[in-house]
Amino acid sequence: MPSPLIVTLDGPAGVGKSSLARRLAAALGIGYLDTGAMFRAVAWRLGPGSWDWGPQRLENGLKDLRFELRDLDGEQVLFLDSEPLDPDIRTEEVGMWASNLAAIPAVREFLKQAQRDIGQSASLVAEGRDMGSVVFPRARCKFFLEAEAMERARRRWLQLKAMGRDADLEEIADQTRRRDRQDRERAVAPLAPAPDAALIDTTRLSEDQVFERLLGLVRAARP
């Protein structure tokens, strides 16, 4: 059996990874793995303050969590303990909890194994912060997306408005910068491109332009 095709898409919060990864996976006919959602789901399950727990309590909290990708009406959907992930994991607040937990080596190690297990049997577009650098170092194609922080905040603000949520642009810009700093400066698996990743600055590109570029590069790299 040929080994699964793994495409990695990394970058900071709000750069557009999720939407691009989902589109890319659909165009290539392979699965989509949202690893930020896995960090968020762990944070949601363990709750605020869990980043200050001691190693034993944390290990107990993590050890029974089971992630899997399931086919739901032709779409690959992440499940935790046989339930689809709770939509409440998507708030900025839970994003910050996830970022706090993501600095803890035991949490990263646990999720790295869960991510590799999923990638062992399925072709994937894997989206996150360290997919190309740590989790799938032998991925066929690696991309690292960048965009100026204010532009990322503006995209997130538009998204929230489209969902009918009240949001303050300056506050989102502030949260974006804080989370960036924390994700880039942590000691374990900091947000950084793999040496062999293609860097794409999306600040002045539309989503369609970035999508076409990614798809073209993956198709060119496929044997």
SS3 labels along 71-128: EECCEEEEEECCEECCHHHHCHHHHHHHHHHCCCHHHHHHHHHHHHHHHHHCCEEEEE
Distance CA 92, CA 42 (A): 15
Residue 186 CB, shortest distance to ligand DC, in Å, is: 8
CB-based contact 145:16 (threshold 8 Å): yes
Shorter beta-carbon distance to ligand DC: residue 28 or 189: 189
Cα–Cα dist 218/47, whole Å: 38
Q: Which is nearer to ligand DC, 134 or 214 (CB)?
A: 134
* Nearest distance, CB of residue 171 and ligand DC, angstroms: 16
Q: In Å, how far are 122, 171, 177 from 174, measured between CA atoms?
A: 37, 5, 5
Interaction site with ligand DC (CB under 6 A): 13, 35-36, 39-40, 95, 98-99, 102, 128-131, 179, 183
Cβ proximity to ligand DC: between 43 and 214 the closer is: 43
Choose between 131 and 147: whose C-beta lies nearer to ligand DC: 131
Select 28 or 186, whichever has its Cβ closest to ligand DC.
186
CB of 2 to ligand DC, least distance (A): 25
CA distances from 69 to 10, 33, 79, 85 (A): 20, 8, 6, 11
Q: How far is the C-alpha of 28 from the C-alpha of 211, rounded, in Å?
A: 12
Q: Which long-range contacts (CB under 8 A, 24 or more apart) does 215-222 make?
A: 215/24, 215/27, 215/28, 217/141, 217/143, 218/7, 218/24, 218/28, 218/140, 218/141, 221/140, 221/141, 222/5, 222/140
User: Min. distance of Cβ 124 from ligand DC in angstroms?
Assistant: 13
Residue 102 CB, nearest distance to ligand DC (Å)? Answer: 3
User: What minimum distance in Å lies between the beta carbon of 192 and ligand DC?
Assistant: 11
Residue number with CB closer to ligand DC (156 or 223)? 156
User: To the nearest whole angstrom, how small is the minimum distance from the Cβ of residue 55 to ligand DC?
Assistant: 19
Give 17 or 218: the residue with its C-beta nearer to ligand DC.
Answer: 17
